[in-house]
Structure formats: C-alpha cells, structure tokens
Amino acid sequence: MGVAAALAAPAAGAAVNPQIAGLQVALRAHGLYLAQIDGVAGPRTAAAVHRFQRKHGLRVGVADVRTRRALGPLGRPLFGSRTLRRGDFGWDVSVLQFLLTRRGVYAGALDGYFGKETAAALRRYQRLMRLQADAVAGPRTLSAIAARDRVPVRTHAVVVAAAVHVVRPGDTLTAIAAAHGTTVKALASANRIDPARPILIGQRLRVPVSTAGLGASAAQVRAKLDAWSARAGVDPHLVRALAWMESGFQTRIVSDAGASGVLQTLPSTRDYVETVLVGRRIPRTVDGDIEVGVTYLAHLLRAFGGDERLALAAWYQGERAVRERGVYGITKPFVANVLALRTRM
C-alpha cells in the first residue's frame, strides 16, 4: 500500500501514517511545525507544509519529491528505501524512532539521527520480534516493522490534507472564515470562487489553516539558541544544528548518561563551564542549559583554532580524546550530519 493511499481525512480517530512523522520532524527542524509528532496528516501538518512551500517558491500542495528535497537532510529518504544502521541520518530514521517510541522501547529525541540510543532501542525491538538483534534495520527488520505498523513504503509523494468545511444552512464565507481563523479573501482564493457569489448547501470548501496558536516552544528554543550564539560569537546555524541533533529542540530530555537540556550537556560539562569558563553558577533553566552548551561549544572552537569539525568531534567524544587519538570512526557521521543540517537550520 502506498503512502498516499494510507491517509485519511484529519478527523477524530484519523489513521496514523508513520511516514508523516518523518515529515513532521523535518518541518519542526525548520520551526514550522510546533505540535506533537503523531504521524497524522492533519491540518497543522498541512499548514506547515504549505508555509514551507510558499517560503521556498514551491507548488503548494502535497509534500512531493521537490518539497522533501528542499527540506534538506531530514527530508529524505522515505522509510523502507534503504537499510538503516548507526550513523545514518534522515527522514527514515525519524520514522524508525517514532515507531520505536510507539512500541515503548525508545524514549530519546525524535531527531532523525541513528545514534547509540536508537541502536539500543532497535535491539530491544528485534528481541521482542524474535529477530537477530544486530541494531541494523535490514530487509527482515524493515518487513517486520512495515507489517506490524502498516507503514506505507513504496510511493514518493506524501499527501497532507487541508481542513474541509461542508457548507450548512445559514453559513456564509464570513462566518466560516471567522470559525477557522482565516479570512474571506484566503478562503475564496483557496477555492477559486467569487466571494460576492452565494455558496451552496453541501458545497465542500478547502480551508487554509493558520499555524497561529499551536504553541511556541520550538520557536522560543530557536530564539534562545540564536541569542546565546550572538553573545558567544558562534554561528547560530551551527548551534541550531547541534541542538537539533542532540535533542530535537526538546527541553526536558535526560539521557541515560545524565546529559540534559536542549544541548544535552553532562553534569561534568556544566561544572567545567561554571567553575573554569564563566566563574559563576548558571541557572538550571532552559536559558541556563543553552548558555552552558553554547559557552562550551565556543570554548571548543577556540581550542581547535576555529576548526568546526574538530570542535564538534570534541563535543561528541571529548576534547582530550580528539587531541590524543584523533576523531573516532563513530564520531565522523555525527560531525558530518551536524554540518549537513547546518545549511538548512
């Protein structure tokens, strides 16, 4: 079954299409989708897709190949099109993380990066399914996931539905627009109708959905990241990409190793920043967590003469380890993915 065929209208009890979770994660990285990653092609997802398409001069409608290409590293490939293993990055990894979360074996960030937490979760899933627990999503594991969770894997366009209003007795364009938080002009344009002409009972109208009122947590995080980047003199796009890789802009994640916050800094890192780099206590708030992470990244950039690859490697494996042993093989995909994502953040 294809992706498009799997979708239902975004009504109560709408079907979950895990491929849509990959789309939602990519849109969240661009600050356009601020709701729950739920795999439902509802009006909020549609609004975010259409905003992205308008911003990038794309045809407004389905999330087709051109849209997904414009989304950057998180916009492809669709789940099921390749074998997944540690170090991979993309839409399909986001979908895998979403599915592992639904099965109760993963509690990390939905960030599209196949790191050690995703690998451990995949092993747990494979054991439950009596598959070889190799932390590789190869043909057998992908087939098991696709069958169990009904993941469409063959088509290359992801359709997101807009809100639809069926005209009832007494309805007017003005009343419909007010009820859906839009304007008569936008409503008329979306349906290619003359606002001066009467509408008919039973007529189906596409409603352009506003993203206002979805909450601003992701947008607030981006703003805070940018503010602290400016104070520290660090490229905000690099900081955004690093924060996305670490937490998906989520503020309350705590890893098994005790790393916390948007930038997933360890207690030892916080202690070093407070006692050595700034000489004061930093509040344990979202702002404080970001200040710790950005301050430490700025330190690493200075320590390695502005070499971003070495600074990111030191972030991942430790400053001393980079100096003494070079960049580990498991570190290289992380560094490459941060730098690739940076161009889209």
Residues 211, 112, 35: CA angle, nearest 5 degrees: 20
pLDDT at residue 268, rounded to an integer: 93
| 291 and 324 part of one domain | yes
Q: Is residue 154 part of a domain?
A: no
| 135 and 196 part of one domain | no
| 12 and 139 part of one domain | yes
Q: Is residue 145 part of a domain?
A: yes
Q: Is residue 261 part of a domain?
A: yes
Q: Is residue 188 part of a domain?
A: yes
| 46 and 137 part of one domain | yes
Taking the model in full, what pTM does it have? 0.68
Contact yes or no for 111/25 (Cβ under 8 A): yes
| 121 and 16 part of one domain | yes
CATH of the domain at 123: 1.10.101.10
Q: Is residue 141 part of a domain?
A: yes
Instruction: Give residues with Cβ within 8 angstroms of 210, minimum separation 6.
Output: 47, 180, 181, 182
| Closest listed residue to residue 95, CA positions, set 107, 72, 113 | 113
Q: Give the separation between CA 54 and CA 121, rounded to whole angstroms.
A: 37
Q: Is residue 158 part of a domain?
A: no
Q: Give the separation between CA 98 and CA 19, rounded to whole angstroms.
A: 9
- Pull the structure tokens for residue 265: 């800094």
Q: Give the separation between CA 77 and CA 93, rounded to whole angstroms.
A: 9
Residues 315, 321, 323: CA angle, nearest 5 degrees: 95
Residue type, 4: A
| 8 and 139 part of one domain | yes
| 246 and 324 part of one domain | yes
Containing structural domain, residue 257: 217-342
Contact yes or no for 221/249 (Cβ under 8 A): yes
Contact yes or no for 209/180 (Cβ under 8 A): yes
- Pull the structure tokens for residue 334: 């992380």
Q: Which residue has the tokens 């043909």?
A: 139
Other beta carbons less than 10 A from residue 229's beta carbon:
21
| Closest listed residue to residue 151, CA positions, set 82, 80, 84, 73 | 80
DSSP state string for 286-322:
HHHHHHHHHHHHHHHHHHTTT-HHHHHHHHHH-HHHH
Q: Tell me how far CA of residue 153 lies from CA of 28, 77, 97, 102, 103, in angstroms.
A: 22, 10, 16, 18, 19
Q: How many domains does the chain have?
A: 3
| 116 and 79 part of one domain | yes
Q: Is residue 55 part of a domain?
A: yes
Contact yes or no for 46/160 (Cβ under 8 A): yes
Active site residue 246: yes
| 170 and 270 part of one domain | no
Q: Tell me how far CA of residue 242 lies from CA of 191, 202, 245, 316, 343, in angstroms.
A: 41, 50, 5, 10, 12
Give 217-269 pLDDT, tens digit per residue: 677 888 899 999 999 999 999 999 999 888 888 777 777 678 888 899 999 99
- Pull the structure tokens for residue 161: 């539905």
Q: Is residue 245 part of a domain?
A: yes
| Closest listed residue to residue 261, CA positions, set 275, 278, 248, 274 | 248
pLDDT at residue 211, rounded to an integer: 39
Catalytic one of 246, 291, 308, 319: 246
| 226 and 196 part of one domain | no
| 123 and 238 part of one domain | no
Residue type, 14: A
Contact yes or no for 242/229 (Cβ under 8 A): no
Q: Which residue has the tokens 């979805």?
A: 214
pLDDT at residue 213, rounded to an integer: 35
Backbone angles phi, psi at 140, to 5 degrees: -70, -45
User: Residue 164: which H helix or E strand, with range?
Assistant: strand 163-166
CATH of the domain at 231: 1.10.530.10
Q: Give the separation between CA 288 and CA 115, rounded to whole angstroms.
A: 26
- Pull the structure tokens for residue 281: 């206590």
CATH of the domain at 180: 3.10.350.10
| 45 and 131 part of one domain | yes
- Segments of the chain with pLDDT less than 50: 1-13, 154-157, 159, 161, 210-216
